[in-house]
Every structure is written in C-alpha cells, then in structure tokens.
Structure 1
Amino acid sequence: MSVERVGRILAEARYLSLSTVSGDGEPWSAVLQYAWLVRPLRFLFGSATGARHCRDVEARPAVSGSLFVTGDGDLTDVDGAQFSGTCRELTEAEVREHHATFYDALLPDEKDRAEYTLPVEALLAPADHRIYQITVDRLWIVDTSTWIEDRIDRRVEVTLP
C-alpha cells in the first residue's frame, strides 16, 4: 500500500516545498515545480543560481521538504509525503541526459513545452539558470490508518528501493 501511495503522490503533486538552511543558520522554504526519477528517488527542479535556496544548497546541501496532493477536495483524498536528502547542481552531462524528462514533467502540454523549454545551453554555466537534483535519503507518508481512528497526525517511513 505504501508504494502505491507514494506513486500516487509523486504522480499527482505538482510542486514540492523545499526547506534549506543558509551558511549562517537562517532557515528558508521555497515552493518549486519538479520532476522525479526513481532508483534512487530523486527530484529535479530548475532555479536561478542567485535564488536564496540555491545559495543555501551551495553552503549546506542537506535539505528537507514535502509534497502535497489535494485530490478532489474531499478530506480523505488529501495526501502527502515528507522527505530529507541532499541537493546539488546537475553536471553538464546530467543536464543533457535529463533535459527532455525534466521539461516533459514540468510542461506536459506540448504547446507550452515548445514555448517555455529552455535550451540545454541556457542551463549550463555561466548561465543564471540551472537544474538541481535532490537525492532523497528518507521519505515519510501520513499514517492514514491511525488518523482515521484518533485524528492524530503521524508519519510512517517508507523504505526506498
């Protein structure tokens, strides 16, 4: 059941919330559109190198975050996951390898993809935009079985493949 739920969350959540900490210890959170890869579980997001969360990742690559699915608005359709991991900028070879997968996930509409996809060169140094990867170390989902019984919000860690 956990694997199916995680698959649903990954497929339906359009954004992730990324939490970082600066070199000076200041916390930050950013909401980012993302793509995901499996084995190991990774999240890809694009951002400007000058963005606060990217500067934080450069200073401290350990991150955490969450994914959230609202379903059709019914309380029992709400679901989500929380994660911790390590974040880094993709290498040039990785940008070339994942470019199409990244934009296919972010822009599923072919017309939008044609209009808004940045070329690979616009995502490599010295350009201001880059693609970053979060390698997920740990993942938790809401324990819906106990919540139904006592309305206490608990998490269950999911074993990653």
Structure 2
Amino acid sequence: MPDSPHGLDGLQMSGDCQALSSEAVAATAPMFYEQMFPEAVDAQQHALPLSQLHGDGPQRLFELRIRELWILDLERWERDGTSTRRAVDVPGVEMTLDERNQ
C-alpha cells in the first residue's frame, strides 16, 4: 500500500469463490459499477448488459468469501528474506462492519 507508514505492500488471502447467479448479478451489478466508477455517467457508460455477466455471457461477477487474510510487507521480504505478513482477524472485521451498518 503505497506511502503506508507501516511499509505495507498488499494483501494475501484464501477463501471460497463462486460466480454470482443471474438474480445476484441483477442485484449487485449497479453497486459494482458505482464503486468502480463514482461518476454516474461513467458507471452507465462502462456497464455491461447483464446478459454478458451470467449464463452464456463472456464475463462474470464473483463473490469471494474470505477465510484467511494477511497484510504483506514485500519490501522487508526483498531486503532480508523475512516474512512479516500479519494475519487479519476476518470475523472481527466483519463484526465491526456489521455494527457500523446498523
């Protein structure tokens, strides 16, 4: 993560992933495009037809359920070969987000 005061460079994760159903695509796609393109005009301009995101369409939207997550310090690894990845408490983060959304 550029300019992080902690020298963190990225994330490593493991989990389960699956393509969204056509119903989930219809419910999720607008929010997906709004997050990718904050300007409504850009979101609309870049949005693919829903038929391209499921079934026989060439693209997919996936849901990733993270089981394990680590923050990486690649600079330290390159410098002295020390892995200083830090585990993230995924259930704790989910609980905090749930509390904020109530």
Runs of at least 5 residues in structure 2 that lack an aligned partner in the other structure: 92-102
Tell me, yes or no, if the aligned pair for 2:20 and 2:54 is still in contact at 8 Å: no
**1:131 CA drift (Å):** 1.0
Question: Is 1:142 matched up with 2:72?
Answer: yes
**1:79 CA drift (Å):** 3.3
Query: In the comparison of the two structures, how many residue pairs are matched?
Result: 85
**1:75 CA drift (Å):** 7.6
Larger Rg: 2
The percent identity for this pair of structures is: 27
| CA distances 1:22-80 after superposition (whole Å, capped 9, x unpaired) | xxxxxxxxxxxxxxxxxxxxxxxxxxxxxxxxxxxxxxxxxxxxxxx224xx7856532
- TM-score normalised over the length of structure 2: 0.66
Runs of at least 5 residues in structure 1 that lack an aligned partner in the other structure: 1-68
Structure number with greater CO (CA < 8 Å, separation at least 6) is: 2
Which of the two has greater strand per residue?
1
Question: Is 1:116 matched up with 2:54?
Answer: no
| CA distances 1:105-158 after superposition (whole Å, capped 9, x unpaired) | 222232321211112222121211221222111001137xxx6xxx63411211
- TM-score normalised over the length of structure 1: 0.45
> Alignment RMSD, CA only?
2.5
Which of the two has greater helix per residue?
2
- Is 79-88 or 151-160 further displaced after alignment? 151-160
